[in-house]
Structure 1
Amino acid sequence: MTNSLIPGGLLIAIEGIDGAGKTTLANRLADVLRQAGAEVVQSKEPTTGPWGMKLRESAATGRLQPEQEVDYLLRDRRQHVEELIAPTLARGGVVILDRYFPSMVAYQGATGLPLDELLAANDFAPRPDVLLLLDLPPATGLGRIRARGDAPNHFETEQNLQRCREIFLQLQLPTKQLIDASQDADAVLREAHAAVIGEVTRRLGSNAPLDDEQLRSLQRLATASLA
């Protein structure tokens, strides 16, 4: 099957505290959209690039100063946007991100840095067409982390995750869709899938000019089934 290209691409960001099920949802949602013919590129932040790895290493060895974390995250995100996100969207692909700039606002905002300044620092980053916020209590997320055999890292204390959760919930971003992540994975996928189909359907109903192939691509995605 030839990949269906979407005019302007489709940027889906999956957010939430640790243990919310972001990676599981990203993988399953990507499978559904690929089966519908979309070109799907999955990625995550921090990335495995040089700046992202500095952040990943600090999760195990001890957190950096908040300002240093912000500096590394912004450098990592600029590279991510330039090398992967923007080119994929430009050619009409779907990008699914496991964490994006809202995580920086939540996690570094939880240290006391001003939320409005953190948001403004990310003005260069394309805004998600669909922002899926997986919400659950920190104790539940930590229980899941331990159940899979991992030890919580320096970012994953219950107190810190509670502050992050509160910031995620208060963020006013236009495409944010709140999903109860304490549900089972199938229920979370159904809600996420419905949010994506809603965005595709909105584009079909807009007055934006579409050629025949673009119209067919959107129609295929709009009728994508979970079966």
Structure 2
Amino acid sequence: MLIAVEGIDGSGKTTIVRFLVEELRKRGYDVVAFKEPTDSEYGKRIRQILKERKVSPEEELELFIKDREFNVRNNILPALKGGKVVIMDRYYYSTIAYQGALGLDVERIKMLNEQFPKPDLVVILDVSPETALKRIKAKRRPDRFEDVEYLRKVREIFLSLKNNVVVVDAERDIEEVKRDVLKVVIEHLGESFNKDAKL
């Protein structure tokens, strides 16, 4: 099964992905987590670009696609073929939302990503840009993608996405968010979730 955890920066994706890996392993699942951008040459270039905007949105999109091709070929497909549950900390939904918010055509971005494995479940952690930026600033300096107006557009696109998408309110206490996400994932894996069980 392929699960993507998505949302604007500061929504808690990495925390939730780590938590899911831990919880699913406790339940006996063979789980791996991958992150985008990756550590490929394309991923490294993307991270560089995040610091200094020196390419067009089109060139940026091209790098994200190449990085994803690398990730699918080297990480995602081998893990899925090996019967593992794969959890993505960002996947192509982020490209649709972030590059779409830069003005690129959302439908075209979707089409370019149709070649990749489709997630069985997409969890969108939804927070306001204001909350997200407050969380980011508590840890580090925001990068150029992290601006209220821009994140507002990104969030709108995320919330417009359909197909196996579950939106979770991530404004709440992290323990509540963890419980809700775990419930959605466990039920998606075909098990019943004991809401009173201790996490």
Q: Which residue is equivalent to 1:38?
A: 29
- The TM-score with structure 1 as length reference comes to 0.83
| Structure 1 gaps, min length 5 | 1-9, 202-218
Q: Which residue is equivalent to 1:208?
A: none
Q: For the structure 1 residues 63 and 138, does the alpha-carbon distance in structure 2 shift closer, same or farther, using more than 3 Å as the test?
A: farther
Deviation at 1:130, TM superposition (A): 1.3
Task: Give yes or no for the alignment of 1:22 onto 2:13.
Answer: yes
> CA deviation digits over 1:161-181, x for unaligned, max 9?
011000001112x21000001
2:182 to 193, 196, 204: 193
CA distance in 1, matches of 2:32, 2:94: 20
Deviation at 1:64, TM superposition (A): 2.3
**Match runs of 1:177-216 below 5 Å:** 177-201=166-190
Task: Give yes or no for the alignment of 1:141 onto 2:141.
Answer: no
CA contact (8 A) 1:44 1:98 kept: yes
Structure 1 stretch 57-66 or stretch 117-126: which is displaced more?
57-66
Q: Which residue is equivalent to 1:170?
A: 160
Deviation at 1:223, TM superposition (A): 6.0
Q: Which residue is equivalent to 1:74?
A: 65
CA distance in 1, matches of 2:97, 2:158: 6
CA distance in 2, matches of 1:136, 1:223: 25
SS at 1:97 equivalent: strand
CA distance in 1, matches of 2:193, 2:84: 17
State the 4+ residue runs in structure 1 displaced beyond 6 angstroms: none
Structure number with greater Rg is 1
SS at 1:96 equivalent: strand
Task: Give yes or no for the alignment of 1:156 onto 2:142.
Answer: no
CA distance in 2, matches of 1:226, 1:33: 14
1:114 to 88, 105, 117: 105
CA contact (8 A) 2:187 2:193 kept: no
Task: Give yes or no for the alignment of 1:123 onto 2:101.
Answer: no
- The TM-score with structure 2 as length reference comes to 0.95
CA distance in 2, matches of 1:82, 1:181: 32
CA contact (8 A) 1:63 1:154 kept: no
AA aligned to 1:112 is G
AA aligned to 1:57 is Q
SS at 1:68 equivalent: helix
AA aligned to 1:15 is E
Between Structure 1 and Structure 2, how many residues are aligned?
A: 197
Q: For the structure 1 residues 223 and 198, does the alpha-carbon distance in structure 2 shift closer, same or farther, using more than 3 Å as the test?
A: closer
